[in-house]
Amino acid sequence: MLKGINAREFLKKFGIYLGFLIIFLLFSVLSPYFFAQRNILNIIVQSAIIAIIAIGETIVILTGGIDLSVGSIVAFVSIITGMTLVAGWPIPLAIIFSIMVGVMIGLINGTIISFGKVPAFIMTLGMMSIAKGASLAANDGRPVSGLPISFQNIATTRILGIPIFVIYCIIAFTIMYIVLNKIKLGRYIYAIGGNKSAARLSGIKVKKINTIAYVFSGLFAGIGGVLLTARLNYATPLSGEGYELDVIAAAVIGGTALSGGSGNILGTLVGALMLGTLRNGLTLLDVSSFYQKIIIGTVIIAAVFVDKAKDR
């Protein structure tokens, strides 16, 4: 009984955490600089933005969808943030407006996918191009500099020695954990991902909930865009490039099934930290960025393979 149940159940529940621990310990042994406090904090800060954006992507994937536009939303929101701040907008107003731009893009994605019946892959692929083009056109492809120094405080402040990005992650993941596990909306999201037809027959407003999932994706991409701009203290249309792959990878490595209906938000956080740890550790070991891509791609494939193997 112990062998039959415990091995499978342990792998299913804690495999991602065990994998992260093994990678963390491996780099701690291979590099004398990895376990330094400054480096650990650096990993956390670098992973935080991907982790926050990945929350929205996880919600979309849980419904059985996909959002390829999040990286471009980050870039567009970044440019909007920079332009409004340089134009003299109050910082809180510029932040709220910029995040709402992300929300509106998510709403457009969700509405056309749910009510227009356009496949999520095609819709968000198209929106990826639209948002990227808009971010380039907004300021003729130039970065926006000269942002208020006080704006950078939202990324550099520490509370009791803890980087503010850690606080942001804790707040965001706690709220969305409650949403997904303690209220009806979360149960509906899982139900839709598990079986759309059954969810519809049980009275769930599938199109509405599906649209809300993409609104969440736009919301967290918008927050990520603002935080990235604050961290860099300038805005560039190239920001967020490749983020769509990173956030999908974080969700998948964290155990969220691409078919929908299975996964959890805490796994996504660990997935984002694992990606950040891999990149940081490989860089410290002086591994070429070309080989880093190969290694990270292999880890993603292995994570999906293990996830499928657990259900056999």
Structure tokens at 137: 């056109």
Structure tokens at 248: 């999908």
- Written as one letter, the residue type at 25 is L
pLDDT at site 42: 87
pTM: 0.92
Q: Is the dihedral of CA 100, 106, 111, 112 positive or negative?
A: positive
Q: How far apart are CA 278 and CA 224, in angstroms?
A: 21
Q: How far apart are CA 14 and CA 36, in angstroms?
A: 26
pLDDT at site 113: 96
CA–chain centroid gap for 263, Å, is: 14
> What residues contact residue 106 under an 8 Å CB cut-off, 6+ apart?
56, 67, 73, 214, 215, 216, 217, 218, 219, 221
> What residues contact residue 265 under an 8 Å CB cut-off, 6+ apart?
55, 58, 173, 176, 177, 180
Q: How far apart are CA 75 and CA 147, in angstroms?
A: 16
Q: How far apart are CA 59 and CA 190, in angstroms?
A: 9
Q: Give the bridge partners for 235, in sequence order.
A: 144
pLDDT at site 1: 42
Q: How far apart are CA 101 and CA 143, in angstroms?
A: 19
Structure tokens at 194: 């598990």
Q: How far apart are CA 202 and CA 207, in angstroms?
A: 14
Question: How do the domains of the chain map onto residue ranges?
Answer: 47-240
* Whether 196 contacts 64, CB under 8 Å: yes
pLDDT at site 255: 86
* Whether 151 contacts 230, CB under 8 Å: yes
Q: Token pair 């943030």 is at which residue?
A: 81
pLDDT at site 61: 95
Q: How far apart are CA 127 and CA 206, in angstroms?
A: 22
* Whether 310 contacts 15, CB under 8 Å: yes
Q: How far apart are CA 198 and CA 191, in angstroms?
A: 8
pLDDT at site 307: 65
Q: How far apart are CA 263 and CA 304, in angstroms?
A: 12
> Quick count: other Cβ atoms within 10 Å of Cβ 90?
11
- Mean pLDDT per 10-residue section of the chain, whose length is 312 residues: 56 77 91 88 89 96 95 96 95 96 97 95 96 93 90 89 89 94 93 92 93 97 95 90 91 88 90 92 90 86 70 58
